[in-house]
Structure 1
């Protein structure tokens, strides 16, 4: 350069000024395939019965779900996807086979124009590789496209995961609504995709995780509250952090009762002023989901360099996003730091999934190490690992603990739940029915343990004494059976069931001929 030596810090500054997003992680052992499936959830109506002019609407009215599936594939010489190839999918998200790109989408794609020719890893319709792989459902951010984190999805597929995503859409419109109904709609999409994954030949449905960015990191919580097939959650600066009021208003989502492992990425530290500003409305007011997450392992990765938007690789590619970067920028971190930070998001995500879906001890050890021990730049990350403790106070957890420790520990398990949640009480009718079914199937000691606990909790329960009497009768102890039938009648003199059982007990045995 004509003998002029440019200072290293100036070179770095110039490089940052010209940087566009590029994924820096190396692929895993598998090639990556991509299938795009245009399907409908016929259990839900998406389009109204009439059009804008009030005329009957023709064609399919069910909910359209353009579904992207990234998967471990055989190597092929076919051309790899480009960023532009992904962008073209926006035109047919809801109009299958009929491209219809809205002005807003055209503007958005113009923002990523400098990277449209950049090669990705996936190859369309590449042959499947042999084997079955854990499933990851990816839930996009508010009203966003399914491929907003295509780099992460491809990366996971290269490491042996089948990753499935569909766009984030409102109940009856392409735009999501910022309310409980909207979250539930995306949660239902997640469950629909899990059901679809079950039809694929290369999925291991015993291991399922859901990863979501922003709004998708709230919807995956709603989905997990209702769908027992979900084994782990990943939230990329998830909105469970920003909209606790929606969790509270749902009435069905209880983070304090959840036992799933959760990997939660957060943008750089938020000031008290910003926190106050972000929690001023009813949807922002409610209990902190992360504080309540005590019964499942919680790994919190503080992305010190990243803004909220930088948790999406496609958003990092959009030059329009960077026009307002100065307002959201963390300290003097640069776009290059965002690229490095995204690589660490991917690395932590694959180790989390390997630890909890593939049960890899090395991956779990990675999560428990400090970022410096894992080779991360110390100024980019802070990681907290909080191991699960205790058990949630619920009938489901009570059953699981009985299976683990034995029914002779029923009273002890219940007492520990009461210590954690003093107002918790096992339902009398459910316990009585459970004990009765155990008795019917010959599990008399287990039935006895349950019904005695039920009597302890509901000492005036006539039906529980009747059930205990029948258990003793079946075990051949007529004296204890009679005592408990009489206790049932003392609690309820009109109990026809206890009266009949006493008659049966005292009836003479039939004479054999």
Structure 2
């Protein structure tokens, strides 16, 4: 059940061996050398059991972490990795750390023991083992693997992105209680989403990661987990889906208690597999709607969304593991050369989207907005559709986010600028009054509270209550001169304000 909650039948019949190599994928590295680290951290908030030990002993949930990053390489001490080195990580994540290497291709059925796959093991990859980060502040891609898959399943893509100035961090897809998932349930999705959130926290431990520039990327089931993660987290800037299951299992997403499409407001790109031939739909009993139905994409309202279809890629080939190790289905798979060309193209489009959304690169923005033919690609190779986000109704919460981002300074110019763009913006007097008092009673935020009251009085200049609250703020902070002045202003507007009368008597004494 490794890659195929949805499309497993496509992988199980009429197979033949492919012949590929990392070099033939032909991903052109960028300016940075690539470092790779792997380590494990325990999540003490969750319990877990090692499935293969067949006991009831619980441990803290282990989170294996793989990270690719721009690195400084010293020839004398830096070891260039091979595919076999990556598969050592796979053994650990599959909880078979002591498995002899010669069993690898027999033990994990999705690798397939063929002469071609054995040849991959000695291939050198572009990453080096555990060098130092290069100086810099890099955007980060947090990756969620496919169903029950490894953190390294897309290592060629990760190395490519790291060479272009991104950090990529990933952990395996594993079940709630053990290594095994339940079968693609909402519970499985929520568990993987929590693992993604663990990584979102882990990135803060790296000084070379720009935690303000974060994208999620997921393949197959990982796309589903990422979709719900975006609905729970505001600090994600973009999302990349590699034939994500949110296209196929929308009902699983809807069952999440966090499901709220109105909170999905960031740029989204989905890269989809080729059309499944009618013959296979019929023989393998696959619903025909998988070829055309995309309820998640169609339901998005507030996201700039892009949907690409790669006409030479079936589902398995959206990962490095699939391109290199998966046997081919001769009923529908293209040639190895066509698969590798399209995987290269997939990687290029993912890079361009990340450059556009995390680095605001103008050329990449143009690339993403262009049709494939304008970028030099035949529609026989790739096709595209897109939709622009509807305008979000701008309310006081969004204004408060803007105010927060500038530490509640210069609020009146901010309000006037925002009102010009969103004429229907309404900041309620009561909300501003409550917020102002909340800040004013905090010694560390007194000035922010005063700023909120000054904005409130700019909008509601005849409010006796606001002057009274501003006076209370000054009184609480022992600025009695300003307190007296504002109590008097409150009384001018409402001579029956008993609080102002009592406070002025108290201050007069």
Q: Structure 1 length as normaliser, TM-score?
A: 0.74
CA contact (8 A) 1:432 1:451 kept: no
Show the counterpart of 1:64.
62
Q: Tell me the CA shift for residue 401 of structure 1.
A: 5.9
Equivalence map 1:457-496=2 (5 Å):
466=465, 470-471=469-470, 476=486, 478=488
Show the counterpart of 1:93.
93
Show the counterpart of 1:43.
45
Equivalence map 1:64-83=2 (5 Å):
64-77=62-75, 80-83=80-83
CA contact (8 A) 2:67 2:169 kept: yes
Question: Residues 48 and 138 from structure 1, CA distance in 2 versus in 1: closer, same or farther, beyond 3 angstroms?
Answer: closer
Show the counterpart of 2:311.
304
CA offsets, 1:441-484, max 9 Å, x none? 212232347889xxxxxxxxxxx985575358967375665766
Show the counterpart of 2:122.
117
The 1-side partners of 2:429 and 2:189 are apart by 34
Q: Tell me the CA shift for residue 256 of structure 1.
A: 2.6
CA offsets, 1:158-180, max 9 Å, x none? 11111111110111111223222
Show the counterpart of 1:228.
234
Q: Tell me the CA shift for residue 270 of structure 1.
A: 6.8
Show the counterpart of 2:480.
none
Question: Residues 437 and 365 from structure 1, CA distance in 2 versus in 1: closer, same or farther, beyond 3 angstroms?
Answer: same
CA contact (8 A) 1:136 1:208 kept: yes
The 1-side partners of 2:68 and 2:308 are apart by 25
Question: Residues 359 and 47 from structure 1, CA distance in 2 versus in 1: closer, same or farther, beyond 3 angstroms?
Answer: same
Q: Does 1:142 align with 2:147?
A: yes
Equivalence map 1:12-411=2 (5 Å):
19-20=19-20, 22-47=24-49, 52=54, 57=57, 61-77=59-75, 80-93=80-93, 95=95, 98-99=98-99, 105-111=107-113, 112-177=117-182, 178-269=184-275, 277=287, 288-320=295-327, 322-323=328-329, 326=331, 329=332, 333-391=334-392, 396-400=397-401, 406-408=414-416
Higher relative contact order (CA 8 A, sep 6+): 2
The 10-residue stretch of structure 1 (225-234 or 392-401) with the greater mean CA deviation from structure 2: 392-401
CA offsets, 1:367-397, max 9 Å, x none? 1222222232331112334444412566542
CA offsets, 1:204-233, max 9 Å, x none? 222111111111112122222223332221
Structure 1 residue runs without a partner (length 5+): 1-15, 419-425, 453-463, 487-498
Q: Tell me the CA shift for residue 432 of structure 1.
A: 5.0
CA contact (8 A) 1:142 1:216 kept: yes
**1:81 counterpart SS class:** strand
CA contact (8 A) 1:139 1:166 kept: yes
Q: Tell me the CA shift for residue 23 of structure 1.
A: 1.7
The 1-side partners of 2:176 and 2:105 are apart by 22
Question: Residues 481 and 351 from structure 1, CA distance in 2 versus in 1: closer, same or farther, beyond 3 angstroms?
Answer: farther
CA RMSD of aligned residues (A): 4.1
Q: Tell me the CA shift for residue 297 of structure 1.
A: 2.6
Question: Residues 28 and 84 from structure 1, CA distance in 2 versus in 1: closer, same or farther, beyond 3 angstroms?
Answer: same
Structure 2 residue runs without a partner (length 5+): 1-15, 441-445, 473-482
**2:392 counterpart SS class:** coil
Q: Tell me the CA shift for residue 48 of structure 1.
A: 8.5
The 1-side partners of 2:320 and 2:376 are apart by 22
Q: How many residues end up aligned between the 2 structures?
A: 451
Question: Residues 481 and 264 from structure 1, CA distance in 2 versus in 1: closer, same or farther, beyond 3 angstroms?
Answer: farther
